[in-house]
Amino acid sequence: MVMKKLWVVALGMFAFGFALVPFYEKICEVTGINSGGEQILAKNTQIDTSRRLTLELDANADAGLPWRFKPLQTSVQLHPGEMVQVMYEIENLTDRDIVGQAVPSYAPQLTAQYVKKIECFCFTAQTLKAREKRQMPVMLVLDPALPSDVNTVTLSYTFFVKPGTERSAAVQGVASASSRG
């Protein structure tokens, strides 16, 4: 009798593990986090050398987040289908550790569906130690299916204090940092 119950529990746990996979994929699809499908598409694209595009880079930190955030270059020339890596630099201006999350935006807005990120700091929350400065890569491909009348794509990231962390602590850190000059 006990053995039968153990088998039922083991079988239930096995089935539960399989049920989590589509649930996880749906969460990633809705949030745009770590989408494996985009990675496969990016690896299988062909470079369209007949077109040249400009990728403009922008970076912002929310007023409640005392970080300095900037792209190391403001624009990149590339062909659709060509994989490029760009670097961003971020610095915590306070004497305390802070967790932030980057949210991307695109212009023109319709280009969001054609930007395929392989690696991005926006996939996960970033914890910066007190006074820490680091460089973070973004590796992406602009899909060759991007409409031909689009010649410039702007990729902008805004860092926010991660939900669930105390926003006032970040603001207090700014006050103490600016009082030191």
Whether the predicted pLDDT of 175 surpasses 70: no
What Cα–Cα distance (Å) separates residue 132 from each residue in 4, 99, 103, 128? 56, 12, 21, 6
8 A C-beta contact, residue 67 and residue 125:
no
3-state secondary structure at position 146: coil
Identify the pLDDT of residue 112.
94
DSSP state of 51: -
Tokens encoding 118: 């392989």
CA–CA separation, 118 and 138 (whole Å) = 8
Over range 70-89, report the average pLDDT: 96
- CATH 2.60.370.10 for domain 32-179, yes or no, is yes
For residue 123, which of 153, 143, 103 has the smallest C-alpha distance?
A: 103
Total Cβ atoms within 10 A of residue 147: 9
Q: Which of 1-5, 41-45, 177-181 has the highest mean pLDDT?
A: 1-5
- pLDDT tens per residue, range 30-44: 655 655 544 544 444
Phi, psi values for residue 20, rounded to 5°: -70, -30
pTM, 2 dp: 0.67
- pLDDT over 70 percentage in the chain: 71
Whether the predicted pLDDT of 96 surpasses 60: yes
Identify the pLDDT of residue 180.
44
CA–CA separation, 158 and 69 (whole Å) = 9
